[in-house]
Amino acid sequence: MINVERHCERSEAILRVYYKRLLCFLFVLISHISYLSSPLQAQKLKQLIADGDKAFANNDYFSAAIYYNQAINQDSSDMAIQYKYAEASRLNYDYDIADHWYSKVFKKDSQGKLYPECSFWLAMIKKNKGKYKDAKKMFDKYAKKNKKKKDSYYVKKAIQEVAACDYAQLLMAAPDKSISIIHLDSSVNSKVSEYAPIQVDSVLYFSSLRDKKDRDKKNNVSYNKIYTAKQDSLKWQKANELDSLFNRNGIHNANTAFNNDYTKVYITRCEQKDAALSFSCQIYTSDYKDGHWTPLQLLPEEINQKGANNTQPAIGFLGDQEVLFFASDRPGGEGQMDIWYSRINKDGTYGKAVNAGKKVNTIEDDITPFYCKPCQELFFSSTWHKGLGAFDIFKSEFKNNEFTEPKNLGSPINTSYNDIYFSINSKKTAAFLSSNRPGSYFEEKESCCNDIYTFKIPRIDEPPVKVDSTKIFVTQMKLLVPLTLYFHNDEPDKKTLATTTTKNYKKTYEDYSAMRDQYKKEYSKGAAGENIERAVSDIDNLFDDSVDAGMQDLEKFAQLLLKVLKDNEKVTITMKGFCSPLASTDYNVNLAKRRISSLRNYFMEYQNGVFVKYVNNPNEAEGSIKFLDEEIGELKARPNVSDDYYDTKNSVYSPAAALERKIQIIAISTFSEGSK
Q: Work out whether the CA dihedral 607, 609, 610, 615 comes out positive or negative.
A: positive
pLDDT confidence bin for 212, thresholds 50/70/90: confident
Query: What whole-number distance in Å separates Cα of residue 319 and Cα of residue 335?
Result: 27
Average pLDDT, the chain: 88
Residue 19 confidence (pLDDT): 41
Q: Per mean pLDDT, which range of 57-71, 127-141, 512-526, 623-637 is the poorest?
A: 623-637
- pLDDT of 489-511, one tens digit each? 999 999 899 999 999 999 999 99
Same domain flag for 302 and 415: yes
Same domain flag for 304 and 451: yes
- pLDDT of 583-611, one tens digit each? 457 888 999 999 999 999 999 999 999 99
- Residue 175: cis peptide before it, omega within 30 degrees of 0: no
Same domain flag for 449 and 578: no
Question: What mean pLDDT is predicted for residues 239-248?
Answer: 93
| Enclosing domain of residue 379 | 182-465
pLDDT at 28 over 60: no
pLDDT confidence bin for 644, thresholds 50/70/90: low
Same domain flag for 285 and 407: yes
Does 106 map to a domain? no
pLDDT at 97 over 50: yes
Query: What whole-number distance in Å separates Cα of residue 37 and Cα of residue 71?
Result: 18
Residue 672 confidence (pLDDT): 64
Query: What whole-number distance in Å separates Cα of residue 448 and Cα of residue 426?
Result: 30
Q: Per mean pLDDT, which range of 32-41, 48-57, 109-118, 416-425 is the poorest?
A: 32-41
**3-class secondary-structure state, position 138:** helix
Residue 240 confidence (pLDDT): 95
Residue 18 confidence (pLDDT): 38
pLDDT at 21 over 60: no
Residue 276 confidence (pLDDT): 58
pLDDT at 542 over 60: yes
Domain boundary among 443, 465, 487: 465
The residue among 313 and 649 whose pLDDT is bigger is 313
Same domain flag for 427 and 491: no
Task: Report the chain's terminal Cα–Cα distance, integer Å.
Answer: 73
Residues whose CB falls within 8 Å of the CB of residue 311, separated by 6 or more in sequence, listed in order = 254, 255, 268, 270, 279, 281, 283, 326, 327, 328
Question: What mean pLDDT is predicted for residues 611-630?
Answer: 94
Does 583 map to a domain? yes
Residue 275 confidence (pLDDT): 62
| Count of structural domains within the chain | 3
Residues whose CB falls within 8 Å of the CB of residue 372, separated by 6 or more in sequence, listed in order = 378, 379, 424, 460
Residue 31 confidence (pLDDT): 43
Angle at 223 between CA 292 and CA 335, to 5 degrees: 95
Question: What mean pLDDT is predicted for residues 266-284?
Answer: 84
Same domain flag for 499 and 623: yes
Does 126 map to a domain? no
Does 67 map to a domain? no
Residue 322 confidence (pLDDT): 96
Query: What whole-number distance in Å separates Cα of residue 79 and Cα of residue 291?
Result: 64
Nearest-CA neighbor of 591 among 480, 496, 464? 496
pLDDT at 4 over 50: no
Does 132 map to a domain? no
Same domain flag for 405 and 300: yes
pLDDT confidence bin for 69, thresholds 50/70/90: very high
Q: Per mean pLDDT, which range of 152-166, 202-216, 243-257, 590-604 is the poorest?
A: 202-216
Is the pTM higher than 0.85? The answer reads no
Residues 104, 108, 113, 119, Cα dihedral to 10°: 40
pLDDT at 3 over 50: no
Query: What whole-number distance in Å separates Cα of residue 16 and Cα of residue 10?
Result: 10
Residue 577 confidence (pLDDT): 92
427 CB burial (10 A radius; 0-12, 13-18, 19+): exposed
Residue 5 confidence (pLDDT): 30
pLDDT at 29 over 50: no
pLDDT confidence bin for 651, thresholds 50/70/90: confident
The residue among 673 and 653 whose pLDDT is bigger is 653
Same domain flag for 426 and 535: no
- pLDDT of 184-206, one tens digit each? 999 999 999 999 999 999 999 99
Number of neighbouring beta carbons within 10 Å of residue 531: 11
Same domain flag for 584 and 604: yes
Query: What whole-number distance in Å separates Cα of residue 184 and Cα of residue 454?
Result: 7
pLDDT confidence bin for 234, thresholds 50/70/90: confident
**CATH code for the domain of 243:** 2.120.10.30
* Residues paired with residue 663 on neighbouring β-strands, in sequence order: 485, 577
Number of neighbouring beta carbons within 10 Å of residue 383: 20
Same domain flag for 277 and 389: yes
The residue among 391 and 42 whose pLDDT is bigger is 391
Longest dimension (CA), the chain: 114
Contact 187, 229 (CB under 8 A): yes
Same domain flag for 290 and 346: yes
* Residues paired with residue 455 on neighbouring β-strands, in sequence order: 431
pLDDT confidence bin for 365, thresholds 50/70/90: very high
pLDDT at 676 over 50: no
Residue 640 confidence (pLDDT): 66
Residue 426 confidence (pLDDT): 94
Same domain flag for 316 and 448: yes
pLDDT at 7 over 70: no
pLDDT at 552 over 50: yes
Does 405 map to a domain? yes
Does 507 map to a domain? yes
How do 662-670 and 483-486 pair as beta strands? antiparallel
Residues 67, 70, 75, 78, Cα dihedral to 10°: 30
Does 135 map to a domain? no
